Every structure is written in C-alpha cells, then in structure tokens.
Chain A
Amino acid sequence: MSNRDLHFRGQMHDEDVITFFRDHWVVLLPRVISFVLFMAVMGLFFFNLARFKLPSLDAIFFRALVVLAIIATGFMIHRFFLSVIEYFLSVTMITNYRIIHVRRTLYIMNHKESIYMRRIQDIQKQQDGLFKNILRFGELVINVFGPDLITLTTVPNPEYHFRLLNRIRNQQLNKNQQKLPFREHAGIDDSNGNEENTRPIEPLEPELEAPPVEEDFHSV
C-alpha cells in the first residue's frame, strides 16, 4: 500500500512517519502567563464595575479611552490565539528518509526544510541549564555534509529524539551499503589489482542515488 500523502502532504509512497514533535510547551509559557494575568485583571475589573466611579461617556477623553481599551483587549486576544495556532502549525517530522521541519504562521511565515538522513554527518544534543534538564528540552544540532549546520531548538525529550535519529541514520546507511556494494559495482577486482579488470563506473541506480523527491511538497 502506498503511503503517498498519507500523514502529510508531500509524503513519498514508501516513506513512513516514525515520529513527530512540536516545540516544547515551555515556548508558550510566557505568552500563557501574560495572557492569563491580563484576563484576570480584565475579569476583576468587569465583575467589580459597581465599585468604581467611572465618568460618563460625555467626556471626549474618556470616550477615546474606552474605545482604545476595547481595541487593545481584542488585539490581545487575537494575538495570543494566533501564537497558539502558530505553535500547533509548526511541526518537525522524522521519517525513515528525512527530517521535515515546518515553521509556519497563519499569514506571514511558511518555512519548510527537509534534511535527508544520508546527508547527516553527526548529531549533537545540547541540554544545558537547570530548566532544560528539569523540564526535559534542549537543542539538536545536526551537522550535514557541507558547510551547513542545522539546529532544532526547544526539542522535547532530546535524548529520545537523539537516539532515534542516530538509529534511523545508521539503518539508512546500512541499507544503502547493502544495496550498493560500491567496489563490486565499480568493477574493481582486489585480487590482482589489474587495471584491465576495472570497468568504468556506471551511474548509480536512481532509487539508490536519492529517494524520489515529491514535486508538490514545496508548493504546499
């Protein structure tokens, strides 16, 4: 059965989603605290209106103040929930072929990154600090072939994801090595080292060169 577009748009036909995660909930904590405080103040004010001696709406300054207060409260509510929606829309998925890192907001940002397992050179787990160790979150620094260094921040349970990524990467490497005995493929005979036995290197099979790339993934 094909897995094409099964769990996310752009999933390849033989690609399995092994796990996925969002940022650790600690990223939402400052916003949640400020919003709860704001709502508590507003609630206290609203349910104790009778205790305040407010001027009438005839005063122009007070009119402007009321309108501004209503706009500000509406803005705060929308801003908080937009950040929550952004939190839920930003996902990192780990499949047997790649890591897909999606960062998006409703209107402004739409960032997708795909890191193939065979490109990964090594992975570092960084979990420095008291809170990071108590609340179990940290950074995964992925060193890929080439000058690039990719950092996944606020990864929840980084130990688990670190071990998982290493395991998948090793499986992928072993699979490729089993499928592609390079020296046999290149026709090199080690027994006598005779150049006459050396055949020109044939191009790799397409499926071993790279997993099929989904065309419409970046246009999602």
Chain B
Amino acid sequence: MNIVLAIVIFVLLVSLIFLAVNLTRTFSLSSDFRLTESCYTMLFRVCRLRHFLVAYILLVVAHAVGSIFFIFYLS
C-alpha cells in the first residue's frame, strides 16, 4: 500500500506542477493579445479562457484529492 501511495503521490505532484507550468505559460502567451473585450465567436458568447482555467484547476485538484481518497478506501 505504501508503495502504491508513494507512486500515486508522485504522479499527482507531477500533475500539479504541470498544471502550474501550463497556467503560467498560458497567461504569458495570452498577454500577447488584448482582444477579449468583444470576441465575435467566443464559445457560446459567455465562456472565456479564465472560466476554463478555473475549471482546469478545480478538476486537477479534485483528481488529486479523489485519487488519494480512492487509495485509502481500497486499503
């Protein structure tokens, strides 16, 4: 169980680091454009990039918490 938990924690840490790097790079690249005030074709006209980024953070965190919970549940 300890080995499995260690591997899973390592995987989740990598996932969280990847999330942080992705967010940083997204903010860096999207600052090249200041066009978000009136996008003609914005997805469903309400969705903005920041909404997806919030969902991204929530899902990765939920995945990490859920995975650890799952390991403890199985053990």
Contact = CB atoms under 8 A, between A and B. Distances in A.
Interface string B5-17: 0011001100100
A132 to B, nearest CB: 15
A24 B75 CA distance: 47
Contact of A20 (B11, B39, B55, B70): B39
A82 interface: yes
Interface residues of B, number: 40
Interface stretch (A1-9, A182-190, A203-211): A1-9
Contacts of A88: 30, 49, 52
A220 B32 CA distance: 8
Interface in B13-71: 15, 18-19, 22, 25-26, 29-30, 32-35, 39-44, 49, 52-53, 55-56, 59-60, 63, 66-67, 70-71
B7 A67 contact: yes
Interface residues of A, number: 42
Contact of A57 (B12, B42, B49, B75): B75
Interface centre among A57, A66, A88, A93 (most CB of B within 10 A): A88
A25 B43 contact: yes
A85 B26 contact: yes
Contact of A17 (B8, B19, B26, B35): B35
- Top 10 nearest A-B pairs by Cβ distance? A156-B41, A81-B56, A88-B49, A21-B41, A74-B15, A70-B67, A25-B43, A9-B32, A84-B52, A8-B33
22 contacts: A6-B34, A9-B32, A25-B41, A25-B44, A28-B43, A46-B70, A49-B70, A49-B73, A57-B71, A57-B75, A66-B4, A66-B74, A67-B8, A77-B63, A78-B15, A81-B22, A84-B56, A85-B22, A88-B49, A91-B33, A106-B22, A106-B29
Interface of A: 6-9, 17, 19-25, 28, 46, 49, 54, 56-57, 63, 66-67, 70-71, 73-74, 77-78, 81-82, 84-85, 87-89, 91, 93, 104, 106-107, 156-157, 220
